[in-house]
Amino acid sequence: MAGKGEAVIFDMDGVIFDSETLVLNCWREVAECHGIRNIEIACHECLGTNSAVSKQIFLRHYGQDFPYDEYNAEMSEVFFGYASGGRLKKKPGVEKLLKYLKESGIKVALASSTREAVVKKELEEGGLLGYFDEIVCGDMVKRSKPEPDIFLEACRRLRSEPKKCYVIEDSYNGIRAAHAAGMHPIMVPDLMEPTEEMQGLAETILGSLYDVIGYLEPFLPGCITSENGYQI
């Protein structure tokens, strides 16, 4: 059950940026070049995890001799060719939501399994870096999602109790991690549709970031009401 909150923690890929679809398409390009079969299955399993866990998932699917580092570097080169220089698309409603939280005085953090250098570069190029009070990345904690470490570290830095934090996630592993941390998981699906497990772990499942504003309004103090009744 929802309670009074004081902070919101965002995932990045698939929540702030429409990057998961692009990563999948880049892996498809690499897979076509090298004859890698069923790439979508491995990529979907990797959603929400850090690079070390993703590598182990690929090795489990394709064997220990699979040249993951080489192919992942190739995929990254293709990805940044499409996305660098601020060309990475933002998810609809993200700027409105971040502005609403900022103007309402709500503490905001980012907890992304992506490496710190990439996270900060993409946020800066997207004009979003200034919205976040704290940023915790996959190379800053020992254990990847679905373990709760990254969210607990974000709470520690925000000086907030987990039970007072809402988490916005799109991936199964992210929802599992937020639930394990004792937070309020809000699922906004991206590549993967909600399963029965997700319906049990998430506090709510919403269709878009626009819906998050209306959902959070009763639980967060200091909100500014817009003409349509939502917070801005």
In terms of domains, do 97 and 79 share one?
no
Of the candidates 11, 13, 149, 170, the residue annotated as catalytic is 11
103 vs 93, 131, 136, 219, 231, CA distance in Å? 16, 10, 22, 16, 10
For residue 232, is pLDDT > 50?
no
Number of domains in the chain: 2
Instruction: Mark whether 29 and 135 lie in a shared domain.
Output: no
If you write DSSP's letter for every residue of 63-127 in order, what string do you get?
A: -TT--HHHHHHHHHHHHHHHHTTTTSPBPTTHHHHHHHHHHTT-EEEEEESS-HHHHHHHHHHTT
Q: Are residues 194 and 136 in the same domain?
A: yes
Tens of pLDDT, residue by residue over 138-157, are 999 999 999 999 999 999 99
Cα 219 from Cα 26, distance rounded (Å): 39
Query: Rounded distance, CA 60 to CA 54, Å?
Result: 10
Are 48 and 112 members of one domain? no
The structure's pTM equals: 0.91
DSSP 231: B
Q: Is 18 a catalytic residue?
A: no
Q: What range defines the domain where residue 77 resides?
A: 19-83
pLDDT digits (tens, 9 = 90+) for 86-105: 999 999 999 999 999 999 99
Q: Is 2 part of a structural domain of the chain?
A: no
The average confidence (pLDDT) of the chain is: 94
> What is the per-residue pLDDT for 89?
97
**pLDDT given for residue 190 in this prediction:** 97
Q: What percent of the chain has pLDDT over 70?
A: 94
What is residue 137's predicted lDDT score, i.e. its pLDDT?
Answer: 98
Q: What is the pLDDT at residue 223?
A: 58
In whole angstroms, what is the distance from residue 202 CA to residue 179 CA? 7
Confidence label for 230 from pLDDT (cuts 50, 70 and 90): very low
Residue 225 inside a domain? The answer is no
| Lowest-pLDDT range of 38-42, 136-140, 219-223 | 219-223
Rounded average pLDDT over 108-128: 97
Give which of 187, 184, 188, 128 is closest to 160, Cα–Cα. 184
Query: Which stretches of the chain are assigned E, i.e. beta strand?
Result: 7-10, 107-112, 134-137, 165-169, 184-187, 204-205
Asked if pLDDT for residue 62 goes beyond 70, the answer is yes
Statement: residue 225 has pLDDT above 70: no
Do 13 and 27 sit in the same domain of this protein? Answer: no
**CA distance to 4, 10, 46, 202, 210, per residue, from 199 (Å):** 21, 19, 20, 6, 20
Higher pLDDT, 196 or 5: 196
Q: What is the CATH number of the domain that holds 11?
A: 3.40.50.1000
Q: What is the mean pLDDT of residues 57-83?
A: 97
Reduce the DSSP state of residue 191 to 3 states and report it.
Answer: coil
The Cα–Cα gap between 114 and 119 comes to 6
Whether 96 and 144 share a structural domain? yes
* pLDDT attached to residue 227: 47
